[in-house]
């Protein structure tokens, strides 16, 4: 596997998070059902994952299904769940052979047992990989994640494992689904919407954002490269003043 980190933009993002939006509109523009767009969107993921090592991106986190997406029609939700199952079955071999370590974040309780088993299996099969860390947010919502984290933290306090006076900014993230990941450096949202829609709220407190018009099924590795180059020119001050 030939990585080309030398071609990666100097000072590019190490962790990129993407809100993959616009599948429905992409399909509607073509007079096709929304699921047609979701299938086209799923096919874009491979090219983007494969572009990561060459761009110096070690962590890629993608928003596949939000805690709010259950509000969609039963047909769309069932179609998406079936697509996730098929995606895992179809991509497991390529992901593991390409050195991709896959993790899922989000609450699994509402997911069906078959899907959960496939997710567990993909995580286990790729657990030894370290070339790219792909995190898939599935039934993920930041507020839900923080609520679940707070519940566990409160349990630790109630059972004497944690003292309230020891809770600080370092403590809560250890309870988040993302506890093993660094914070995102760059958050990209496709489809022209300039909102976060409950994605990585705590983790992206100091991320750079790119809201681009491209619909997700049209997004390419070239476009990702352009955004990484643009990121590398930004001055991240984290509240300080450059001297």
Dihedral in degrees, nearest 10, Cα atoms 143, 146, 151, 155: -170
Kindly state the DSSP code that residue 66 receives in the 8-state scheme.
E
Q: Does 145 bind ligand IPE (CB under 6 A)?
A: no
Contact residues for Mg ion, defined by CB under 5 A: 21
Contact range with ligand IPE by CB under 6 A, out of 3-11, 126-134, 152-160, 188-196: 188-196
Nearest approach in angstroms of CB 37 to Mg ion is 10
Q: For residue 181, what is the enclosing H or E element?
A: none
Cβ closest to ligand IPE, residue 47 vs residue 68 = 68
Bridge partners of residue 207, in order along the sequence: none
Contact partner, 148, from ligand IPE, Mg ion, none, Cβ < 5-8 Å per class: none
Diameter of the chain measured on Cα atoms: 59
Spacing of C-alpha 195 from chain mean position: 15
* Contact pattern for ligand IPE over residues 55 through 84, marking x by CB under 6 A: --------xxxx--x----------x----
Nearest approach in angstroms of CB 24 to Mg ion is 6
Q: Does 139 bind ligand IPE (CB under 6 A)?
A: no
Nearest approach in angstroms of CB 19 to ligand IPE is 5
Judge contact between 180 and 130, C-beta under 8 A.
Answer: no
Size of the site for ligand IPE (CB under 6 A): 17
Cβ closest to Mg ion, residue 179 vs residue 195 = 195
- Distance between CA atoms of 154 and 160, rounded to whole angstroms? 10
Nearest approach in angstroms of CB 194 to ligand IPE is 10
- Active-site option among 3, 69, 198, 218: 69
Place of tokens 């699921």: 35
- Distance between CA atoms of 211 and 227, rounded to whole angstroms? 10
Check if 69 is active-site: yes
Q: Does 195 bind ligand IPE (CB under 6 A)?
A: yes
Whole-number CA gyration radius for the chain: 18
Cβ closest to ligand IPE, residue 182 vs residue 192 = 192
Strand-strand pairing, 15-19 and 59-66: parallel
Q: How far is CA 41 from CA 6, 44, 69, 141, in A?
A: 29, 5, 16, 20
- Active-site option among 21, 23, 139, 185: 21
Looking at the annotation, which residues are catalytic?
21, 69
Residues binding ligand IPE (CB under 6 A)? 19-25, 63-66, 69, 80, 191, 193, 195, 197
């Amino acid at each position: 596997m030939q990585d080309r980190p030398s071609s990666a933009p100097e000072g590019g993002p190490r962790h990129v998070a993407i809100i993959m939006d616009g599948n429905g509109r992409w399909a509607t523009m073509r007079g096709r059902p929304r699921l047609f767009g979701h299938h086209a969107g799923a096919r874009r993921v491979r090219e983007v994952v494969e572009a990561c090592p060459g761009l110096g991106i070690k962590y890629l986190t993608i928003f596949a299904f939000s805690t709010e997406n259950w509000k969609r029609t039963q047909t769309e939700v069932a179609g998406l769940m079936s697509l996730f199952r098929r995606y895992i079955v179809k991509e497991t071999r390529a992901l593991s052979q390409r050195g991709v370590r896959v993790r899922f974040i989000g609450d699994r309780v509402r997911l069906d047992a078959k899907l959960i088993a496939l997710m567990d299996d993909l995580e286990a099969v790729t657990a030894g990989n370290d070339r790219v860390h792909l995190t898939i947010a599935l039934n993920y919502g930041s507020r839900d994640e923080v609520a679940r984290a707070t519940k566990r933290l409160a349990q630790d306090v109630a059972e004497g494992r944690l003292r309230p006076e020891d809770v600080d900014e370092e403590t809560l993230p250890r309870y988040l689904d993302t506890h093993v990941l660094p914070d995102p450096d760059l958050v990209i949202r496709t489809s022209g919407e300039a909102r976060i829609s409950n994605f990585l709220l705590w983790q992206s407190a100091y991320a750079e954002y790119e809201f681009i018009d491209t619909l997700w099924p049209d997004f390419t590795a070239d476009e990702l490269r352009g955004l990484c180059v643009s990121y590398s020119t930004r001055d991240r001050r984290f509240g300080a003043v450059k001297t």
